[in-house]
Amino acid sequence: MFIYTLPLFFAEIAWASPVELLVIVVALLLVLFLSAPVLAEKGQQLSLNKYLFSAWVGGVSLRWVLWPFFIVLNISLYVADTLAKMGLLTVSSWDDVHLMLLLPIIWWTTAVWHCSANTTQSIFAAGSRLLTLAVFFEYGLKLLIRIDYPRLFFGCEELLLDYGSCF
């Protein structure tokens, strides 16, 4: 996450500096920490049966909802972005990959927010919620790059069939 987009955001787009973004992230983490849910009691049994539904309603431990999808999502985004930068993936295919990942991201965000009470410390709940918001910020940056700055990101000189997407 942010491997290709954040350097472009700071160097080429320059809407904010790294210090300004760091202040926003710390303030957002503080707000999320102060508004963290009441933590679940330690005696509560959390089940992995019917995982998708249990995670959706908040019945799974936070670590079992946050990390598996976060790792798969970051690998998918990294591969799609690397292939697009090398010119091996067309702009339309890059759009398709991000569109296919959007609904699972919405499920994951809902599951993380519901399961954030199922952790040992409030900072973990706030941090996990911040990670879900960071994914949407990443998607916003990618949409900005796709619409306004495609020639900075995509290897437009190598995309013969999809060259019209670079304008």
In this structure, what token pair is assigned to residue 16? 């904010």
Rounded CA-CA distance 74/105 in Å is: 11
pLDDT tens per residue, range 20-64: 989 999 999 999 999 888 876 554 555 667 888 888 888 888 999
- Burial state string for 6-24 with b = 16 or more CB within 10 A and e = fewer than 16: eebbeeeeeeeeeeeeeee
| Ordered alpha helix ranges (H), 35-158 | 51-57, 62-86, 91-115, 122-148, 150-153
- At 149, give phi and psi (nearest 5°): -130, 50
Q: Mean pLDDT for each consecutive 10-residue tract of the chain (167 residues)?
A: 84 85 93 86 60 87 92 95 86 91 95 91 94 95 87 67 58
Model-level pTM? 0.84
The amino acid at residue 116 is S
